Amino acid sequence: MYKILKKTQFSEKVFEFRVDAPRMAKHAHAGQFLMVRINETGERVPFTFANWNPDEGWIEFIFMVVGKTTECLSKLEEGDYIQDITGPLGCPTEIEGDRVAVVGGGVGLAIAYPVARMLCEQGKQVSVIMGARNKDLLILFEQFAALPLENLFITTDDGSMGEKGVVTLPLARLCETDAIDQAFVVGPVPMMKFSTLTCRQHKIPIMASLNPIMVDGTGMCGCCRVEVGGETKFACVDGPDFDANLVDWDDLAHRQASYKAEEAASIKHYEE
Ligand code: FES
């Protein structure tokens, strides 16, 4: 059982939990993820490590309420317990370039933040592009702003914070002005796909952290398979980071939507 030490609400549907997990805190790296099972009959859902402290023995993860499990999770309070947390899982993020754009959209910003922090610690020149539908959904702004970044760009679909538009606008400018030699993207599939196309136009390599549906997170169920460079990969053990230019984005989008009807029925049943 894992005790919730701190609960932070970023917006109506976005929460962060700090959980007592000393062993995990010792081994976590940027880009890795954990699997949470809320109770004995609960499904297992993946979340990325947003932060961790090996000295104090805690880890943090951020989640958005999108279905029954995350709805139940959001109801837990400080002092409550989560049944199981497994991790760290997946491969740590490795970025080769020296001038890197880290692009995060929506709740993907929770993954982008530890990656940007790690790159800053490695002495790289880091430009961050934060994207969200509106300012209420833009998470971790203060944490990103506290990093020693080269640039911090914000885009919102409605213009309520930063530039009105999408993340590819500042990304294209960085590419055009030769300000970066590598990019990393994480967020909704369309955002990652179009960030990839933008970088491809300028011959800038780009890595993407993929977020397919997962069940076990250890390479056994095959649920997280993605097509990369014409080969089938398991995001949980081969990734979650892949060369974005090799990802079959349309296949990933299709697989992401596989259980929409079941997810809708589950949350409806829960709310009734
Ligand atoms: Fe089961 Fe990756 S989640 S193989």
Q: Read off the pLDDT of residues 170-186 as tens digits, 9 standing for 90 and up.
A: 999 999 999 999 999 99
Q: How far is CA 96 from CA 101, 139, 205, 213, 222, in A?
A: 12, 27, 10, 28, 29
pLDDT at 261: 63
Whole-number percent of the chain with pLDDT over 70: 94
CB 12 within 8 A of CB 93: no
DSSP 99: E
How confident is the model at residue 140, as a pLDDT?
87
Task: Answer whether 213 contacts ligand 1 (Cβ < 6 A).
Answer: no
Confidence band of 63 (pLDDT split at 50, 70, 90): confident
Ligand 1 centroid–CA 224 distance in Å is 5
Cβ–Cβ < 8 Å for 46, 35: yes
Write the residue with the smallest CA distance to atom 4 of ligand 1: 219
What span, in angstroms and rounded, lies between the C-alpha atoms of 89 and 104?
21
Pocket test for ligand 1, best of 36, 43, 215 (most atoms within 8 A of CB): 215
Q: Which of 29 and 257 is assigned the larger pLDDT?
A: 29
11 CA from centroid of ligand 1 (Å): 30
ipTM value for the complex: 0.98
Q: What pLDDT, in 10s, does the model give residues 77-88? A: 999 999 999 999
217 lines ligand 1 (CB under 6 A): yes
Q: Which of 236, 255, 258, 259 to mutate to test the pocket of ligand 1 (most atoms within 8 A of CB)?
A: 236
| Per-residue pLDDT at 66 | 79
Q: Read off the pLDDT of each residue in 228-254 and give the average, rounded to a whole number.
A: 93
Per-residue pLDDT, averaged over 63-84, amounts to 90
- Does 270 score more than 80 pLDDT? no
Judge if the beta carbon of residue 247 lies within 6 A of ligand 1: no
> How much is the pLDDT for 90?
93
Q: Is 33 in the pocket of ligand 1 (CB under 6 A)?
A: no
- CA-237 nearest atom, ligand 1: 2
**Do 234 and 224 meet the contact criterion of CB atoms below 8 Å apart?**
yes
CA-proximal residue: ligand 1, atom 1 (nearest): 221
Instruction: Show the domains of the chain with their CATH numbers.
Output: 2-89 (2.40.30.10), 99-256 (3.40.50.80)
Q: Quickly list DSSP for 132-198.
A: ESSGGG---HHHHHTS--SEEEEEETTSSSSEES-THHHHHHHHHTT--SEEEEESSHHHHHHHHHH
Question: In the prediction, which pLDDT does 193 show?
Answer: 95
Mean pLDDT (the chain) is 90
Q: Is residue 267 pLDDT above 60, yes or no?
A: no
pLDDT of residue 67: 81
Residues 6+ away with beta carbon under 8 Å from 6? 16, 17, 18, 78
Q: Kindly give the number of the ligand 1 atom that is closest to the alpha carbon of 46.
A: 3
pLDDT at 12: 79
Q: 208: which strand partners? A: 185, 242
